[in-house]
Amino acid sequence: MNIGQAAKASGVSAKMIRHYESVGLLPPASRSDAGYRQYGDKDVRTLQFIRRSRDLGFSIEEIRGLVGLWQDRTRPSREVKALARQHLDFLDRKLAELQSMKYALAHLVSCCHGDERPDCPILENLAGERT
């Protein structure tokens, strides 16, 4: 199948397919006599794997590791679990950071009168004038 067909079958845009090839997540596609990229079912499964990994927030490097583990049928599952656990810990830290930002911003919003007066605790805080 050509790149458009592979994109449709995998749910990954043609631009991202080319990017994944360029960073080595997907092996370079074979080429037709006319020079067009050609993909097979294995490539589409790999693209779907990459897409689902991206949907879970894994980085390119983490996906590189996951693809390697996925393709290595002799690997112990503890390696996969360790990588997933590490990413889960990262997501927990990120979630805590986002919650902290949300609470800080909610506090600032509640302090602002939102009326015709020019004084605004939100802007004052952003300018470093208030804590």
In order of their start, the domains of the chain are 3-75 (1.10.1660.10)
Q: What is the pLDDT of residue 130?
A: 59
Calculate mean pLDDT across residues 29-37.
92
66: nearest Cα among 93, 48, 90: 48
Calculate mean pLDDT across residues 108-127.
92
pLDDT tens for 70-100 read 999 999 999 999 999 999 999 999 999 999 9
Q: What is the pLDDT of residue 129?
A: 80
Q: Could you give the CA distance from residue 28 to residue 103 in angstroms, rounded to a whole number?
A: 47
Percent of the chain clearing pLDDT 90 (strictly above)? 93
